[in-house]
């Protein structure tokens, strides 16, 4: 938990006296189901969590953007420009990429001092980067009085990720971080951005996030490879019938057209997207009738499809999921986020949470030599200003 008084002291130490800075917060997110569907124009069902990024920000008159984070050693002082450029230090690119989006919309930023403090484990698939982007976008929107809607800010943050971080991500993370609602998941159509909040009534169950703590390695390039594979599948299918996004297709059409895809791997990638989309719709129905066992079964099927058809799990995520499913009363367990390491999410009866953490943790270490970390997720609100 970030100590706001300490953060304010740190801000004053870094940037000196002046007006009180404003305080903002953007959460991370956990995706319940609908993985690798967003950039295919499909459905997703994420929720915002209690962990996130705090940011203090103050306008200045010196024409400089000053960036610092209690989580990172590098600091930057960058002159305000008509166009900001990609920086060699990765984390600067999240705020800079967002500021560049404001520039492109004609909202010149002026000098600003920013200090971030995050408590989302980074690189764990819980959207720490979207959280930094969205807290910046929301705060700068406030400071510049640019009055952009959260949906617009999410699109700008996604563009920042594409252009400045080099990840061709979909809209899910930035949208969930922006639009999260306590106790609810966000059911989002990634083509139209139509969305509904769906109550997640966990009763005596808890949402447990388990982090593989596997180093991310080539995750970003493998992610972009999957995006490209889906575009290829789409191009083959579009030679048979009118289709703009894989997310538009149901199984009957896919079965009719799949032999247009010559490569078996590319066919499986498309099959995952289409089956996962159906599972999101079934999950929304299950949650609306408060049927956690049905939802859990869909979570399990989602993981299995990500393992077998989409091939983004790997031994660490598979081990966590296999061990989770052995704990009494666990209704479902799956990887969440991009995969290739990162986290799983499981629905666990409250009385079995200690047993879950002990046994899944122990058996994971025995099988992989790595130490997992566990978090009890609280489904929380999206980006907001806090009083300080
Ligand atoms: C990452 C991306 C999202 C989404 C997920 C996979 O989190 O940022 O846009 O594609 O992976 O569902």
pLDDT category of residue 123 using cuts at 50, 70 and 90: confident
Cβ atoms < 10 Å from Cβ of 232: 15
Written as six digits, the tokens of 166 are 């080099």
How many angstroms separate the CA atoms of 291 and 266, rounded?
34
Tell me what pLDDT residue 218 has.
64
C-alpha 204: how far from its chain's center? 26
- Cβ–ligand 1 contact at 133 (below 6 Å): no
Give the model confidence (pLDDT) of 148-192 as tens digits. 999 999 999 999 999 999 999 999 999 999 999 999 999 999 999
What are the φ/ψ torsions at residue 349 (nearest 5 degrees)? -60, 140
Tell me the β-bridge partners of 55.
Answer: 24, 116
How far away, in angstroms, is 387 Cα from ligand 1 center? 31
What is the average pLDDT across 267-295? 98
CA-nearest residue for atom 11, ligand 1, is 338
Asked if residue 328 has pLDDT above 90, the reply is yes
Q: Which of 125, 162, 172, 273 for a ligand 1 pocket mutation test, highest count of atoms within 8 Å of Cβ?
A: 172
pLDDT category of residue 1 using cuts at 50, 70 and 90: low
Q: Which of 162, 170, 302 for a ligand 1 pocket mutation test, highest count of atoms within 8 Å of Cβ?
A: 170
User: Which atom of ligand 1 approaches the CA of 223 most closely?
Assistant: 11
Asked if residue 325 has pLDDT above 70, the reply is yes
Tell me what pLDDT residue 109 has.
76
Q: What is the pTM of this model?
A: 0.96
pLDDT category of residue 121 using cuts at 50, 70 and 90: confident
Give the model confidence (pLDDT) of 134-145 as tens digits. 999 999 999 999
* Conformation bin of residue 118: beta by default, left when phi > 0, alpha when psi is -120 to 50: beta
pLDDT category of residue 220 using cuts at 50, 70 and 90: confident
In the residue annotation, 163 being an active-site residue is answered as no
Asked if residue 332 has pLDDT above 90, the reply is yes
Structural domains in the chain, CATH included, are 4-198 (3.30.230.10), 201-377 (3.30.70.890)
Asked if residue 365 has pLDDT above 70, the reply is yes
Asked if residue 2 has pLDDT above 80, the reply is no
How far away, in angstroms, is 337 Cα from ligand 1 center? 5
Q: Which of 38, 41, 220 for a ligand 1 pocket mutation test, highest count of atoms within 8 Å of Cβ?
A: 38
What is the average pLDDT across 290-296? 97
Task: Please give the mean pLDDT across all residues of the chain.
Answer: 96
The closest alpha carbon to 250, from 231, 283, 276, 286, belongs to: 276
- Cβ–ligand 1 contact at 45 (below 6 Å): no
**Lowest model confidence (mean pLDDT) among 1-5, 279-283, 367-371:** 1-5
User: Which of the 8 DSSP states describes residue 162?
Assistant: I
Tell me the β-bridge partners of 33.
Answer: 45
Tell me what pLDDT residue 108 has.
80
What is the average pLDDT across 361-373? 98
Tell me what pLDDT residue 219 has.
73
Scanning the structure block, which residue is given the tokens 């083509």?
191
- Cβ–ligand 1 contact at 172 (below 6 Å): yes
Give the model confidence (pLDDT) of 205-219 as tens digits. 999 999 999 987 667
pLDDT category of residue 62 using cuts at 50, 70 and 90: very high
What is the average pLDDT across 300-318? 98
Tell me what pLDDT residue 101 has.
97
Tell me what pLDDT residue 350 has.
98
């Amino acid at each position: 938990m970030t100590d706001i008084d300490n953060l304010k002291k740190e801000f004053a130490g870094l940037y000196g006296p002046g007006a009180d800075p404003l305080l903002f917060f953007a959460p991370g997110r956990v995706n319940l189901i609908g993985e690798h569907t967003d950039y295919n124009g499909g459905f997703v069902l994420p929720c915002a969590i209690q962990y996130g990024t705090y940011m203090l920000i103050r306008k200045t008159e010196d024409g400089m953007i000053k960036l610092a984070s209690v989580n990172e050693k590098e600091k930057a002082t960058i002159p305000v420009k008509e166009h900001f450029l990609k920086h060699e230090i990765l984390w600067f690119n999240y705020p800079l990429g967002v500021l560049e989006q404001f520039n492109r919309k004609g909202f010149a930023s002026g000098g600003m001092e920013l200090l971030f403090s995050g408590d989302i484990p980074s690189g764990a698939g819980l959207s720490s980067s979207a959280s930094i982007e969205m807290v910046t976008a929301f705060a700068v929107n406030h400071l510049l009085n640019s009055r952009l809607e959260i949906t617009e800010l999410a699109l700008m943050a996604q563009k920042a990720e594409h252009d400045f971080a080099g990840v061709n991500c979909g809209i899910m993370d930035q949208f969930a971080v922006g639009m999260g609602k306590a106790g609810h998941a966000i059911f989002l159509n990634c083509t139209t951005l139509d969305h509904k909040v769906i109550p997640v009534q966990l009763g005596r169950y808890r949402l447990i996030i388990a982090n593989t703590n596997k180093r991310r390695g080539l995750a970003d390039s493998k992610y972009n490879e999957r995006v490209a594979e889906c575009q290829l599948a789409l191009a083959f299918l579009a030679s048979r019938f009118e289709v703009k996004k894989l997310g538009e297709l149901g199984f009957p059409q896919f079965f009719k057209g799949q032999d247009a895809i010559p490569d078996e791997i590319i066919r499986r990638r498309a099959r995952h997207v289409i089956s996962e989309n159906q599972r999101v719709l079934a999950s929304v129905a299950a949650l609306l009738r408060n049927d956690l066992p049905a939802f859990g079964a869909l979570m399990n099927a989602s993981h299995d499809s990500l393992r077998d058809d989409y091939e983004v799990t790997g031994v660490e995520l598979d081990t966590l999921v296999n061990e989770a499913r052995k704990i009494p009363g666990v209704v479902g367990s799956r990887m969440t986020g991009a995969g290739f390491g990162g986290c799983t999410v499981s629905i666990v009866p409250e009385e079995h949470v200690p047993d879950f953490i002990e046994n899944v943790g122990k058996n994971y270490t025995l099988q992989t030599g790595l130490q997992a970390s566990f978090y009890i997720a609280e489904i929380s609100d999206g980006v907001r200003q806090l009083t300080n």
